[in-house]
Amino acid sequence: MKNLASAASTLTVAVLILDGVATGALAAPRLPQDLRAARIPFTAATVTANDDGSFTVSWKAPGVKRVAVKAVGRTVARGDGAATVTVRGLPAADRRWFSLVPDHGGSLHLADRLVRLSGTVNFRDAGGYRTKNGKWVRMGKVYRTDALNKLTTADQAKLKRLGIELAYDLRTGFERALGRDKLPSGIRLVIADVSGGGSGYTLPTSEQAAEQMMIDGERAMVASDSGRAAYTSVFDGLAGTGSHAVLFHCTAGKDRTGWAAAALLTALGVPRATIMRDYLASNDYRAAANASTLDALPPFLAKVYKPLLDVRPAYLNAGFDQVKETFGTFPAYEKDGLGLTAAELKHLKAALLVG
C-alpha cells in the first residue's frame, strides 16, 4: 500500500512540473416530471459547438420517424430517426442547450460537453451519456475539470451561472499552494487530496518507467487509504446532488479527475467502452497545452515525459483491475471503497438519470 501511495505522490508532482505551469454559461433546464419519466428512444446523441458559431447536432433513434431540434424557444432543425444537422444563426450564449424531441418517447436536453473558459482547457460536463439500460446521464449536474487557479472574473461569473454550489479539489497541498482555486463566492470548496499529500518523489528516466508510474498511480487511486477517503468525500457530495451542480478537479483534469468520472459513470450504469472514450477525450482537449509543454523540453526528455501528460487505456484499465483485486466487484467498491449505501446510490441515480 505504501508503494502505491508513493506512486500517486510521484505522479502528482511529475505531472505538476510538466503540466501545471503550462496550462451566459446556463444551467441545464429543469424538466417536467412527465418528460423525466418517459422512455427516451435515442441510442446516441451529441451536440458540438463549432468555431464559426454554428452547432452540429447528431442523433440515432431507431423506430422514430421524426425528430425536432429545439433551441431558444423554437424549432431550429428537423430530421428523421438518424441524422446530423447544422444549426446556424443562434444568438451568442455562455452555453447553448438543445432539446431533441422525438415523435414518441422522452426528449433529450443536451449541450456541447466542453465548457469554454479562458482559464481552463479541460472543463467539461460529465453527463450526456447513455446507460446500459437505455437511460441517459443528465447534463448540467456534474462537471469535471483541470485546475481552477487561472479563472478570470468572467470565468467565475460563468461558474455561478452554471449553478455550481460545491467543488472538490483533488490536488495535494503542494499543488494548492502553487495555485489556489479562484472560485466565486457561493461555491463551497472541499479538499479531497487523493494522493495524501506525500512530498517525496523520483522522476522517471525512461518512457517505460513513466508509463508504469501512471499505472501505479491509477491503482493507488483505488487502493490507497488517501484515495479511498478522497473519493468517498466526492461521492458524499454527488449523492447529495439536488437542484445544484457539483464539480471535481485536479491539475490536468485527466487522472485523479478521470477516475472520479469513470467511477461515477460506472455506478450510473454507463458501458465501459463509453467510459473509456470519455476518459481518452482528455488527449483531445489537452492536445495544445500538452504539445506546448513537450515542445519546451529537449527531445529525449519529451519522449520520457509524454506518458505523464497522456491518458492511455492501460491507465484506466489498471484502476478497474485494482477494483477487482482489492474489492472483487465494482458494487463492492461502491460500498466499501466509496462508502455508498444502497439508499445513496438509489438517490444518485434518481438525481442524475433520465428516461
Q: Catalytic pick from 166, 187, 250, 268?
A: 250
Q: Is 250 a catalytic residue?
A: yes
Give the dihedral sign, CA 288/293/294/297. positive
Are residues 340 and 348 in contact, defined by beta-carbon separation less than 8 angstroms? yes
Residues classed as catalytic: 250
